[in-house]
Amino acid sequence: MSLAAHLEELGRPLVDEQLKHPTVEGIAQGTLDDATFRSWLEQDYLFLHDYVRVFSRLAWQAPAAHLGDLVDLAHATFHDELDLHRSLSASFAADLDGARKGPACAAYTSFLLDSAATYADGLAALYPCMWGYSTLGRRLAENPPSDPRYRRWVDTYADPGFADLTARIAQMINESGADPESAERLFLEGMHHELAFWDVPRS
């Protein structure tokens, strides 16, 4: 079993926990109140800006075979994902530019940026976000929400193109020469940050 496949095996129970979280259940059912999703949207908008910085920090260290992929991932995050948040913001009255990081967002982004100081560690630390959202999107798309706003969010992460990006990160992890014990620790820490991120701060 490859290292990335092993990490995914470790992460599946934590994806199941996310699927049971009230915020995720509300998205799945299309019944999540606007205030909760607005808060999540604002926090994730801030998170994604730092996620781009993580890709950029890793790109500076990357072997030639990985450099283009990391640049592409930074570009896709900065344009495609942030554009999704901007386009949804009006529907939820989100204040993206005025938002401030809550504790979960601040802890997660600090963890990712610190981990990215070492190339292989950074890949393992960021994989929970890529793989986790791809897995959540696929699972939620099996019975998509009727609310078109939440359906659009699900469709974004269930898209085969997003799965392809996730698979490429998995390949890069396998090629990185990562220490398995360190990769496990960072991946699981990232998965716990993913779960905590659904506890959105109340305004």
**Tens-digit pLDDT string for the chain (203 aa):** 999 999 999 999 999 999 999 999 999 999 999 999 999 999 999 999 999 999 999 999 999 999 999 999 999 999 989 999 999 999 999 999 999 999 999 999 999 999 999 999 999 999 999 999 999 999 999 999 999 999 999 999 999 999 999 999 999 999 999 999 999 999 999 999 999 999 988 75
What whole-number distance in Å separates Cα of residue 25 and Cα of residue 142? 14
SS (H, E, C) 140-198: HHCCCCCCHHHHHHHHHHHCHHHHHHHHHHHHHHHHCCCCHHHHHHHHHHHHHHHHHHC
Domain assignment of residue 63, yes or no: yes
Closest CA to 111 of 171, 45, 188: 188
Is there a domain that residue 20 lies in? yes
Residue numbers of the domain that contains 116: 3-198
- Write the DSSP symbol of residue 78: I
142 domain residue, yes or no: yes
Asked if the structure places residue 122 within a domain, the reply is yes
pTM greater than 0.85 (yes/no): yes
Structural domains of the chain, count: 1
Residue 203 included in any domain: no
State the CATH number of the domain containing residue 54. Answer: 1.20.910.10
